[in-house]
Amino acid sequence: MSYTIAITGKGGTGKTTIAALIVVAMTRAGKCPVLAVDADPNACLDVALGVEAKNTVGRLREDARILASEHPDISKRELLELKISESLVEGEDFDLIAMGRPEGPGCYCYANNVLREVLKEISDNYPYVVIDNEAGLENLSRRIVRRVDALLVVGEPSRNGIATLHRIQALAAEMNIEYGKFIAVVNRVHDIQNTYDDLKQKMGADGIVLLPHDDDIRMWNEEGRSFFSIPENNAIYRKVRDEIAAPIQ
């Protein structure tokens, strides 16, 4: 069974950056192979990890439909295996699969369903699975995996941002999302101590991780560089490594 970490939170809070840094920290610690899952239709986790997801599972819809009509004897299972082999990107100590968006005006349900099927099929091959979700809370209800070991929610340091973290925690309970531990991450914090005290009192999360603003991180993203080349002494990376990745066995 794999250990699954799902990252969620509002738009632009730093989910993809943190997901990529977790993957880097896990592989550097020898906790690999990791399956990195980009469950955001506007995929960009691949860039952060220095690979390119050319074929997303959402894009394969048309191909699969044509294939099934040309070869009516092809089984559902064969079709699924084909989708997996075409959309899985192999990195050095990790593989990546991206949901992408279906071509044309289709809804995301299809891509989401295929991704769920694919994960059911392959995630057991990986000791660690890191899922970068789309912004917002709806993705929680889509449940691309049945249970996560760590639900990591990223928020902003404002009052509103912290209230959102709290709301997501309540929502996860209401929706019976099964998770092992809840990790609240506040990104770009100025006042570390006060934010920590406030969060601890309000949420009592299993893990509270506060990350400062870091211009190097911003630059890494702006230049589309792979986080695999982030130095060990980068402040954000160190915190992600020591406070999120290291406690995962």
Ligand X SMILES: Nc1ncnc2c1ncn2[C@@H]1O[C@H](COP(=O)(O)OP(=O)(O)OP(=O)(O)O)[C@@H](O)[C@H]1O
Residues within the interface to Mg ion (CB under 5 A):
15-16
Strand bridging mode 147-155 / 178-189: parallel
**Binds ligand X by CB under 6 A, chosen from 34, 211, 230, 244:** 211
Interatomic CA distance for residues 15 and 40, integer angstroms: 10
**Partner in contact with 55, chosen from Mg ion, ligand X, none, beta carbon below 5 to 8 Å by kind:** none
Rounded CA gap, 60 and 201, in Å?
Answer: 47
- Could you say which of ligand X, Mg ion, none residue 8 binds, taking C-beta under 5 to 8 angstroms by partner kind? none
- The number of helices, as runs of H, and strands, as runs of E, in the chain is 10, 8
Sign of the dihedral through C-alpha 173, 197, 137, 14: negative
Which helix H or strand E contains 148, and what residues bound it? Answer: strand 147-155
Question: Site for ligand X (CB under 6 A): how many residues?
Answer: 18
Nearer to ligand X, 147 or 213 (CB): 213
Stretch that binds ligand X, among 13-21, 28-36, 113-121, 144-152 (CB under 6 A): 13-21
CB-based contacts of 59: which residues, under 8 Å, 6+ apart?
A: 87, 100, 101, 102, 103
Options 2, 195, 221, 226; binder of ligand X; rule CB under 6 A: 221
User: Mask of contacts with ligand X, 105-144, x by CB under 6 A?
Assistant: ------------------------------x---------
Interface residues with ligand X (CB under 6 A) are 11-17, 40, 135, 187-188, 211, 213-214, 217-218, 221, 236
